[in-house]
Amino acid sequence: MIRRATTCALSTLLLLAFAAVPAFGQTTPGDLIITEYMADPDDVSDSDGEYFEIYNDTGSDIDLSNFTFAETDGSGTESFSVNRPLTDFIVEPGTFYVLCKNGDESANGGVTCDDDYPNRFTLNQGIQTVTVTDNRNEVAVFTLEYDDGNSFGAGVSHELKDFQDGRDGIADGPAVGSDYQGATQNIDGTGSDRGSPGLQGTTIPVEFAGAPTARVNGDAVTLFWRTLTETNNAGFHVQHRRRLPPDGDSRPEGSEWTTAEKRVEGAGTTQTEQRYDYTVAGLRPGRYVFRVRQVDTDGDKSYSQTVDATVQADGGFALRAPTRNPFRGETTLTYRAPQGAEVEATLHNSLGQQVQRLHASGGRVEVEARSLSSGLYFVRLTTEEGRTRTQSITLVR
């Protein structure tokens, strides 16, 4: 890796992006945004691995041809111009455009580039000034000021914080170094350099290992998920909502989520795989969609992919074992039945013979067996539709 000395003179890094103006109008501040920059790659040399990423925050194409890019530090100024056909240097609406010092992926650390620039143009790790000027209209649409291109260590790119809201906050400029954060995702899956050139440049506090999985047990759904890495992770909340038929669901996507009260504690910061699970009980029959909401130590949130789970119509019918088993003389079982359903409870011996009718009401089955001999018995709960649930109990003297 090539290191360059930081200049002694105090200056400011200004990264000014200008957009080409069609005959019918002009660009305005915030139309182009620098969303990521790598000034200090570690896997490859600076002369191969430097890059920066531009985002078009408008609804129209922006033509970058005929631009002059200049960088100034204590040793002077270097610049280059782009003079190409209009179709060769276009940033389409809502997309990223990556400019690299070396456009060869096999040499630049695996970065996919839209174009490259001369080696003499350098993103120093120290204080410097970089300007990007459209020679045809002189309108500055973005400004970035920072004094350290190596804030997060070698091999870590600077990515815009909070991509959705952060763009509005810096549209009128200037953006400063604190508007960016260190990347956590690996660039190409093989090296150690981290960044997201050409993708939404927000740091991933938790890297989920795919979508969660769901296991249904009666009226309960247990969600299982894994993480590959975690950074400042405070924990997780499981969320669910009904999955209604498309022709009957007029709600906006993501509305009416029910969030579990209990938080599953995260691992903080770790590069080791972690496994988690959480059970949501008492669900009514129907189809549900689940997701995991992650919260970091600063309060920022991210979300897993979603997974569907279906609670069957009889999922709300259950008979639970008593808290005291074996028992002496008497014990109580609890049950859940569909709303309005009538149930009957009976006690059977080990031969399957009914020996008692039991009182079942309000979700409780009372067993009074003082007149019976020790042994194994079965409590059977039956609905008027003929559905049954059974639990074994052991009477001792």
Q: So what's the pLDDT on residue 4?
A: 34
Q: So what's the pLDDT on residue 45?
A: 92
The number of CA neighbours under 13 Å toward the Cβ of 7 is: 18
Specify the fold of 206-311: Immunoglobulin-like (2.60.40)
pLDDT of 146 strictly over 70: yes
Placement of tokens 């709960």 in the chain: 381
Residues 6+ apart with CB under 8 A from 289: 240, 241, 242, 243, 306, 307, 308, 309
pLDDT tens figures, 87-107: 467 888 888 889 899 989 999
pLDDT: which is higher, 182 or 169: 182
pTM (predicted TM-score): 0.47
pLDDT band at 316; cut points 50, 70, 90: low
pLDDT of 326 strictly over 70: yes
What's the whole-number average pLDDT of the chain? 79
For the record, the structure tokens of 54 come out as 């531009």
pLDDT tens figures, 217-256: 777 889 999 999 898 899 999 999 887 654 444 443 444 7
Tell me which H or E stretch contains 348.
Answer: strand 343-348
Q: Are strands 343-348 and 307-311 parallel, antiparallel or unpaired?
A: unpaired
Check whether domain 318-395 has CATH 2.60.40.1180, yes or no: no
AA letter at 150: N
CA–CA distances in Å: residue 157 to residues 106, 121, 196: 19, 18, 8
Burial letters for 228-242: b for 16+ Cβ neighbours within 10 Å, e otherwise?
ebbbebbbbbbbbbe
Judge whether 206-311 and 318-395 match in fold.
Answer: yes
Instruction: Please state the domain extents for the chain.
Output: 15-182, 206-311, 318-395
Q: So what's the pLDDT on residue 7?
A: 34
